[in-house]
Amino acid sequence: MAKTEFNTKKKIKVEHHESDLRGTLASVFLLGFFIIVTWVSVWMLFLDRF
Amino acid sequence: MMNSNKLEKVDSRDAKLSMAYFYVAFIALALGGLAGLLQTLVRSGKVVLPWGIDYYQVLTVHGVLLGLVLTTFFIMGFQFALISRTTGTFTNGARITGWVGFWLMTIGTAMAATMVLLKEASVLYTFYAPLMAHPIFYIGLTLVIVGSWVAGGSMIATYAKWKRNNPGKASSLLTFMAIINTFMWIIATLGVAATVLIQILPWSLGLVDTIDILVSRTLFWYFGHPMVYFWLLPAYMCWYAIVPKIIGGKIFSDSLARLSFILFLLFSIPVGFHHQLVEPGIDPAWKYIQVVLTFMVIIPSLMTAFSLFATFESFGRSKGAKGLFGWFRKLPWGDARFVVPFIGMLSFIPAGAGGIINASHQMNAVIHNTIWVTGHFHLTAATAVVLTFFGISYWLIPHLTGRVLTKAMNKLAIIQGIVWTIGMSFMSGAMHAAGLLGAPRRSSFSEYGGAAQAQEWIPYQIAQAVGGSILFIGIILVLIIFINLAFFAPKGETEFPVGEVADGAEKPPLVFENWKLWLGISAALILFAYTIPFIDIIQNAPPGSKGYKFW
């Protein structure tokens, strides 16, 4: 029983290791960066005007 | 997912019901699109409408037909097809209920449209009091809402029956998503039904003289914000669970998709005050609380972005893509069913960023009631949502009518997506820019007595007319494709793509379908966010207003 559980865990670990999502990580960082830049731009406009 | 593999085709009787909704949706697109073109031409200052046609009448036609009719009818038709395909054919009773909903909605639309065309209801699609339309306009809109409840009831009953017959099993992802959207719509429309039936209708019938404007606007925006998510979630259904199949990949995570939809159900509704940030009479503390709840919606939006990037990257890498972004080139760039919704996804990046600015209290002061807001929802609703709806049509219409999308039509559909992108970049871009310079929304052309500031807006208004004209060409192309797919395309079988989860993925936890839990939390959040400020609004109400007709 214990041996079976050990094997299952090992299999999951290997699958996660194989999935390569570097591009996704970079993409979500770029997306976050874009949101921050647009937000800060309008924030500066607000500070300038009010 | 278990049923989706067995049921490959939507039953022909269910297909007829879905098509009925789509016919009305695309007629609304044609008329509403024409009205949109006329608006941008008038606002350029170069065109005056003939025969005494009023700008605000045309604006009402545009908003009501595209914002309310196109979206609601398309979504109902789409959800009927989705549930029929992934849960099973509707029973005769459920289908008849769907038809009753359709006719109520259609009769209501005809009543409201007639009043707008007779110039009795130029109150714009938000129909804010104290602008007062003919009572038939409000009765018509009420029938549209009631019809959507009847149609939604048919969907929920079909889902509930499946759940009873399949205890302990998770429903298909697409049906689950359609049911969340239907619940959200029903909860949200209670607000607009309340203001129309309790306040606006008695007032327009002359039974009462005055109306409490802040109460009516609060009830409207209790409905108005989840309404935009009611438009968006069907697009997300396509992005999460249909596009992966179209590209030949897998759904990144069924559970993540379900969780994000639950978060949308919870956080789309108790947030209406972010549309009323400059409104006096609402305690700023409660505005702040609702802004915080609004920002919670960013979480499922970013989960969606992550999930889609991951789906695309996983697919591209399975095809041998190298480097950081090599997977991007592996996507099927020749397939309109993918390319058109993909443009929609991309447009949601600036659209979402703009939304965060709109909901931020101080920055709302920069853009409130300017044409920036119009530019914003032409990126969300009129690009992200509508292009995805077009992309869905390119396989769903031929699936339902037993026809095929030919290579020529596929090419035309991609051209349509590109035309839309160019037109919207001009129009929405110019709207955002002019809005930052203070140009008002909901306003006909005016030089404002020769004011220097108003002169700055005119070049942008001309750019909007250029964009609007290009977009109208885009609408003509969509209509050509729709008519082709509905009546003239070659007969044949078209796939209804339903995404599959990755091999070895965990089953979604059943707690996601514990409706008592999620609807209970949703109700608790709504009561928390609205009860105290709403009591405050009623107790400290100023004198009511009589009705006004400025047309």
CB-CB neighbors (< 8 A) of B309 in chain A? 21, 23-24, 27-28
- Catalytic residue of the set B95, B376, B403, B432: B376
How do the domains of chain B map onto residue ranges?
Answer: 12-539
Task: Report the run of H or E that residue B275 belongs to, with start and end.
Answer: none
Q: Is A9 on the interface with B (CB under 8 A)?
A: no
- Backbone region of residue B412 per phi and psi (left: phi > 0; alpha: psi in -120 to 50; beta: other values): alpha
Tokens of B53: 């046609």
Three-state secondary structure call for residue B300: helix
- Catalytic residue of the set B222, B229, B426, B460: B229
Say whether A50 and B365 touch across the interface (CB within 8 A): yes
CATH superfamily of B12-539: Cytochrome c oxidase-like, subunit I domain (1.20.210.10)
A28 vs B306, B326, B504: nearest CB: B306
CB-CB neighbors (< 8 A) of A43 in chain B? 360, 362-363
Considering only CA atoms, which of B516, B501, B507, B524 is closest in space to residue B245?
B501
CB-CB neighbors (< 8 A) of A28 in chain B? 302, 305-306, 309
> Would you call B376 a catalytic residue per the annotation?
yes
Q: Are B422 and B37 in contact (CB under 8 A)?
A: no
How do the domains of chain A map onto residue ranges?
Answer: 23-50
Q: Are B261 and B180 in contact (CB under 8 A)?
A: yes
Q: Which of residues 15-34 of A touch B (CB under 8 A)?
A: 15, 19-24, 26-28, 31-32, 34
Say whether A24 and B309 touch across the interface (CB within 8 A): yes
B164: β partners: none
Our CA-based measurement puts residue B504 at a distance from the nearest CA of chain A, in whole angstroms, of: 9
A23 vs B305, B327, B360: nearest CB: B327
- Can you tell me the ipTM of this complex? 0.86
- Per-residue pLDDT tens, chain B, 551 aa: give them: 344 444 488 999 999 999 999 999 999 999 999 999 999 999 888 888 888 888 999 999 999 999 999 999 999 999 999 999 999 999 999 999 999 999 999 999 999 999 999 999 999 999 999 999 999 999 999 999 999 999 999 999 999 999 999 998 999 999 999 999 999 999 999 999 999 999 999 999 999 999 999 999 999 999 999 999 999 999 999 999 999 999 999 999 999 999 999 999 999 999 999 999 999 999 999 999 999 999 999 999 999 999 999 999 999 999 988 889 989 999 999 999 999 999 999 999 999 999 999 999 989 999 999 999 999 999 999 999 999 999 999 999 999 999 999 999 999 999 999 999 999 999 999 999 999 999 999 998 888 998 999 999 999 999 999 999 999 999 999 999 999 999 999 999 999 999 998 877 788 898 999 999 999 999 999 999 999 999 999 999 999 999 999 88
